[in-house]
Chain A
Amino acid sequence: MFSDVIRKIDWEETTERIMSMTDADVRRALGKSRCDVDDFMAMISPAAAPYLEQMAALSQKYTRERFGKTINMFIPIYITNSCSNSCVYCGFHVENKIKRIILKEDEIVREYQAIKQLGPFDNLLIVTGENPAMAGVPYLAKALDLAKPYFNNLQIEVMPLKSEEYAELRKHGMNGVICFQETYHEANYKKYHPRGQKSIFEWRVNGFDRMAQAGVHKIGMGVLIGLEDWRTDITMMAYHLRYLEKNYWRTQYSVNFPRMRPSENGGFQPNVVMSDKELAQVTFAMRIFDHDVDISYSTREPEFIRNNMAALGVTTMSAESKTDPGGYACYPQSLEQFHINDDRKTADVVAALRARGLEPVFKNWDSSFDHEEMLLAK
């Protein structure tokens, strides 16, 4: 389990190593065809800042080699904002006095139908807060079942589950799981997540092992930028990614670098801010470090960043997202989990990508593959 690994990696020492990386370390990393985590540290260090253009060129080259000129498109759907956690930075915080919604079956279907009106979306990400009693595994299974007539590729972003529960949801067509660790700083993790099941660092950080052990095809990871020193936090994620790739090599991985935006509960302001240049640096470094990993940018990022980065390393994007339950059809006025920055219509996102010579791919999976796998499993 990864908790055993990460406890052997000292946070302060890692920070120090990153900050003491030199020009020569950066050059060495960029010259390698296969980078290790040390090289990754060099590439995200301040010493690499002067090499941003070269890193962009390398990142673009590796991305094209592995992904061609394509961008995978997905859309998220929030089916509930009910949540028993009290993450200090989140709009769904349990004590936040907002209207809590758990979409009913007919409402979920109306949302799906509304999404299909936006564009030919086929990759759906089903998102919930953490409310196992009212919106637990059976509820998710139902949402997956209802999605099947409309979408071929189904992913979830929900609380960490047991391995058996992931396996159960796979039977309902779930292909992928996204889960953000938020931060790998174990001591401070508890400060940001003081209560609820989410306060247990180990349960969350080992969730990825459980997903992989359950045979989930695709696992998405992420560090929430704004909590702890992002260089160290993302380095920990790089260790985690390598660990997962080594131990669960049949699984595909994606990474996210969500930058915290002002939250609706007003109180929490980001501890650290990552500039656009730094986001680009991290993205390029991740691609040079790992040629195969899927790098995803959501609508948290503004239009000009998404347009430009699409050609340089990003391989998956959402469009026209609503981050509130019912936002596509049923309750267009309810409260968002976070504010989105790119509110372009899907058609406009598509047109912008095409203008850059990129092909947006809406369908890259067919549910008949899942069906076959399930039959074989029996």
Chain B
Amino acid sequence: MDDKLVIAGKEFSSRLFLGTGKFSSNEVMAKAIEASGTEMVTLAMKRIKLSDSSDDMLQHIAKPNIQLLPNTSGVRNAEEAVFAAKMAREAFGTNWLKLEIHPDPRYLLPDPVETLKATEQLVKDGFVVLPYCQADPVLCKRLAEAGAATVMPLAAPIGTNRGLVTLDFLQAIIEEATVPVVVDAGIGAPSDAAKAFEIGASAVLVNTAISVAANPVEMAVAFKEASVAGRRAYLAGLGAQSADFSAQASSPLTSFLND
């Protein structure tokens, strides 16, 4: 099936993006990444503790077929995000960026105003910006207009595994989108991912549902298969829901019409 996802001119065969948080070890993470078939993997940045000599996670994810997607997690406003982006570009040699600005420590919900502001600036600075955002159709329009390469509306708050809580809004976003829509955050089960694809999402970003599963590697496979299934179902054209379209004997609304 020739069904490539294109973001900023780059082709992806897999529509499943993986986050690397909360895995029990870097080894398990690496295996899950491989099993998922993903070609886009997020990572975060941290200030080095001078005494820390722990394993460098980068070596586990930096593979030729994988696009690194550094995030700006931890920043609280546009200015900090722009700084973080420049650090990421320098450290990881990519101008791709998952822009996330969530000053709210409780639900980690994104700040729409700062996100839009940062997107405008980062696009000017030559970044490929993938902003994490609320499932707000107007905000998504504004982000696309500002030059975002995709929009990444949330399905539910980060890490909640609650599934497509924002379904109606995601549908509106997808219907009107001029850039790929990546459903991010809250996807809790392969069926959620499949559903996101069935309604026309271009990709999904999954992290917690895989990393905290009893068997993360098997769960990565399950998400891979669900993503393919959901996307195929979308392309194949889903059948009608159970509305009653049987022929009707009388035609009270249209009997006035001539042939």
Chain A interface (Cβ < 8 Å from any Cβ of B): 24, 27-34, 38, 50-54, 56-57, 60, 245-247, 249, 275-277, 280, 304, 308, 312
**B239 at the binding interface (Cβ < 8 Å):** yes
Within the complex, the shortest CB–CB distance from B83 to chain A, in Å, comes to 32
If the complex has contacts A27-B245, A34-B175, A51-B245, are A57 and B253 also in contact, measured as CB distance less than 8 A?
yes
8 A-B pairs within 8 Å (CB atoms) are namely A27-B240, A31-B242, A31-B245, A34-B171, A53-B252, A246-B177, A277-B257, A280-B254
Which B residues from 120 to 172 make CB contacts under 8 A with A? 141, 171
Which B residues from 227 to 259 make CB contacts under 8 A with A? 237-243, 245, 247-248, 251-254, 256-259
Q: In this complex, what residue of A is CB-closest to B247?
A: A50
Whether B243 contacts A30 by the Cβ 8 Å rule is yes
Q: Which A residues touch B171, using CB under 8 A?
A: 33-34
Docked CA distance A32–B245 (Å): 12
Q: How large is the interface on B (under 10, 10 to 19, 20 to 34, 35 or more residues)?
A: 20 to 34
Of A28, A29, A32, A56, the contact of B254 (CB 8 Å cutoff): A56
Whether A32 contacts B177 by the Cβ 8 Å rule is no
Please report whether the interface of chain A is mostly helix, strand, loop or mixed according to DSSP.
helix
Q: Which B residues touch A57, using CB under 8 A?
A: 253
**B176 at the binding interface (Cβ < 8 Å):** yes
Whether A247 contacts B259 by the Cβ 8 Å rule is no
Whether A249 contacts B239 by the Cβ 8 Å rule is no
Docked CA distance A60–B252 (Å): 13
Whether A56 contacts B243 by the Cβ 8 Å rule is no
Of B245, B248, B253, B257, the contact of A30 (CB 8 Å cutoff): B245
Chain B interface (Cβ < 8 Å from any Cβ of A): 141, 171, 175-178, 237-243, 245, 247-248, 251-254, 256-259
Docked CA distance A52–B257 (Å): 10
Of B177, B239, B242, B259, the contact of A275 (CB 8 Å cutoff): B259
Whether B240 contacts A30 by the Cβ 8 Å rule is yes
Q: Give 7 nearest A-B pairs by CB, closest first.
A: A31-B240, A56-B253, A53-B251, A27-B240, A276-B258, A31-B241, A308-B256
Q: Which B residues touch A32, using CB under 8 A?
A: 240-241
Whether A275 contacts B258 by the Cβ 8 Å rule is yes
Q: In this complex, what residue of A is CB-closest to B240?
A: A31
Known: A29-B240, A34-B175. 8 other contacts (CB 8 A): A31-B241, A32-B241, A52-B254, A53-B254, A56-B254, A60-B253, A245-B176, A280-B257
Docked CA distance A312–B254 (Å): 9
Docked CA distance A33–B241 (Å): 10
Q: In this complex, what residue of B is CB-closest to A23?
A: B245
Whether A277 contacts B258 by the Cβ 8 Å rule is yes
Q: Which B residues touch A312, using CB under 8 A?
A: 253
Q: Which A residues touch B248, using CB under 8 A?
A: 53-54
Q: Which B residues touch A24, using CB under 8 A?
A: 239
Q: In this complex, what residue of B is CB-closest to A32?
A: B240
Q: Which B residues touch A51, using CB under 8 A?
A: 245
Q: Which B residues touch A249, using CB under 8 A?
A: 141, 176
Docked CA distance A38–B176 (Å): 16
Within the complex, the shortest CB–CB distance from A281 to chain B, in Å, comes to 9
If the complex has contacts A52-B254, A53-B251, A53-B254, are A246 and B245 also in contact, measured as CB distance less than 8 A?
no
Of A28, A34, A246, A280, the contact of B240 (CB 8 Å cutoff): A28
Within the complex, the shortest CB–CB distance from A341 to chain B, in Å, comes to 14
Q: In this complex, what residue of B is CB-closest to A49?
A: B259
Whether A54 contacts B257 by the Cβ 8 Å rule is no
Whether B251 contacts A28 by the Cβ 8 Å rule is no
Q: Which B residues touch A246, using CB under 8 A?
A: 176-178
Question: Most chain-A Cβ atoms within 10 A of its Cβ — which of B171, B240, B247, B253?
Answer: B253
Docked CA distance A56–B257 (Å): 12
Q: Which B residues touch A276, using CB under 8 A?
A: 257-259
Docked CA distance A33–B171 (Å): 10
Within the complex, the shortest CB–CB distance from A190 to chain B, in Å, comes to 31
If the complex has contacts A50-B247, A276-B258, are A31 and B239 also in contact, measured as CB distance less than 8 A?
yes
Within the complex, the shortest CB–CB distance from B1 to chain A, in Å, comes to 18
Q: In this complex, what residue of B is CB-closest to A26?
A: B245
Q: Which A residues touch B256, using CB under 8 A?
A: 304, 308
Within the complex, the shortest CB–CB distance from B251 to chain A, in Å, comes to 4
Within the complex, the shortest CB–CB distance from B174 to chain A, in Å, comes to 8
Q: In this complex, what residue of A is CB-closest to B141?
A: A249
Of A28, A33, A247, A275, the contact of B237 (CB 8 Å cutoff): A28
If the complex has contacts A56-B253, A308-B256, are A28 and B176 also in contact, measured as CB distance less than 8 A?
no
